[in-house]
Amino acid sequence: MPFVYILECSDGTYYTGSTTDLERRLLEHEFGGSAYTRERLPVRLVWFEETEHVADAYSLERRLHGWSHAKKKALVEGRIADLAGWSRRRRATAETMTQAAERDDW
């Protein structure tokens, strides 16, 4: 089965990937199997999800690549409820509403 995974690197950054063999891919990372992680060893697996199809894993991986570090951290920490309000549009709307409330514009 395909997997999507997030590794935490030694410098605190996250690496997101997908694979059909998670155990093998983790060993590859451990021995420098990615240009990004090679410079940031050691790495540790902090999150993964199994998907039914390779296309689903790849799609989810691409989506996660677009997420901020803070949003990935919320996922890793299991704060799923926090993710719903994390879109740029919702954050911008919330910030605008907060700024308007502070100015008594609403």
Domain ranges of the chain: 3-66
CA torsion, points 46, 51, 56, 58, in degrees to nearest 10? 40
Segment 52-81 mean pLDDT: 94
22 pLDDT band, cuts 50/70/90, is: very high
- Indicate whether 74 pLDDT > 60: yes
- Provide the 10 A C-beta neighbour count for residue 8: 19
87 pLDDT band, cuts 50/70/90, is: low
Entry pTM? 0.79
CA distances from 86 to 76, 92, 94 (A): 15, 10, 10
Distance CA 72, CA 12 (A): 12
Indicate the fold that domain 3-66 takes in CATH.
GIY-YIG endonuclease (3.40.1440)
| Tokens standing for residue 70 | 């803070």
Distance CA 12, CA 34 (A): 16
Average pLDDT taken over every residue of the chain: 86
Q: Give the pLDDT confidence score for residue 83 in this predicted structure.
A: 83
